[in-house]
Amino acid sequence: MIGKRIAVLVVLIVMIDSTCRFAFAAINFGDDLDSAIEAGQKDSRPVVVYFTAPWCGMCVKMRGSTFRDAQLDSVADKYHWVKLNIDDHPEAAALLRARGVPYTVVIDPQGIVAAASHGYMSASLFIRFLNGEARSGMSSGIEGHPSLLAEALKPGATVDMIVAALASPQRQGRAMLLSCLKRQGSSMYLPLSVLMVDSRLAVRAAAGEALAHLTGAGLKFDPFANNTVRREQINQWIKWLNEQESDPQVAQPSSTRFTRAKP
């Protein structure tokens, strides 16, 4: 009987020790990326964006170990934290080039991506990543491109240049880029619809977002969808654009005619 009580006591001690070790770290995840970036610009704190999904096994592991580890208390107040379901935020995933989950991005106070990493990280490796000690070889190669933005805002910039700037992870200047496209009016519709077929996820996502912004049309375009679904969605866009062209109240260049996306 005494032996059983001792065994139970040992188990309880182990459980208590485990609970203390993996107590929830003081990380307050939000789900508003734009607000977090604005807050980071005001208080000069970087933003950590963590992409996850309910079907992701490694995400469940990170939630149960990495983000429950008290080691993260030391960095909790140094960053703004955003957690996004990749399925619910395809535009953010495309802009930040999330190719899978788990995926972690660090955005500096200037709104430029400083580092990114795909895959599971333990608490100690996660802290090293945040501190810049483990970024070599882990970064996806994403860097801020202020020169790309500057070139895209110059007079005479091509649609490809503007969309390339929109497709970069740098969110700063997006409103100006969209304004540049909007000032050129319906002449941008055709080249944007062509870029929606681009093989690069970030480019077609940026082109689709820009076209929706310019036209105000409520048509769907999912850059993550398979080729068949995307082709059907693009053809719906083309049909709508051609209807606008035939409307005498809508000014269109005489040479513009939108053709269906090829299989």
pLDDT by residue for the chain (263 residues), tens digit each? 555 454 444 344 334 344 333 344 568 899 998 889 889 889 999 999 999 999 988 999 999 899 989 899 989 999 999 999 998 888 788 777 787 888 898 888 877 778 888 888 889 889 988 887 544 333 333 334 445 566 666 777 788 888 888 877 666 677 888 888 888 888 888 888 888 888 777 888 888 888 998 888 888 888 888 888 888 998 888 888 888 776 544 444 333 344 445 54
Q: How far apart are CA 110 and CA 113, in angstroms?
A: 9
Total Cβ atoms within 10 A of residue 107? 27
In the prediction, which pLDDT does 167 show?
Answer: 79
Q: Bridge-partner residues for 118, per DSSP?
A: 103
- H or E element, residue 78: none
In the prediction, which pLDDT does 149 show?
Answer: 64
Torsion, Cα of 226, 232, 234, 236 (10° steps): -150
Instruction: Provide the 8-state DSSP code for 25.
Output: P
Q: Residue 79 contacts by C-beta under 8 Å, 6 or more apart in sequence?
A: 45, 46, 47, 48, 106, 130
Total Cβ atoms within 10 A of residue 100? 13
In the prediction, which pLDDT does 151 show?
Answer: 67
Q: How far apart are CA 202 and CA 184, in angstroms?
A: 22
165: amino acid identity, one letter: A
What residue ranges define each of the domains in the chain, with the CATH number in brackets? 24-130 (3.40.30.10), 146-246 (no CATH)
Q: How far apart are CA 115 and CA 130, in angstroms?
A: 9
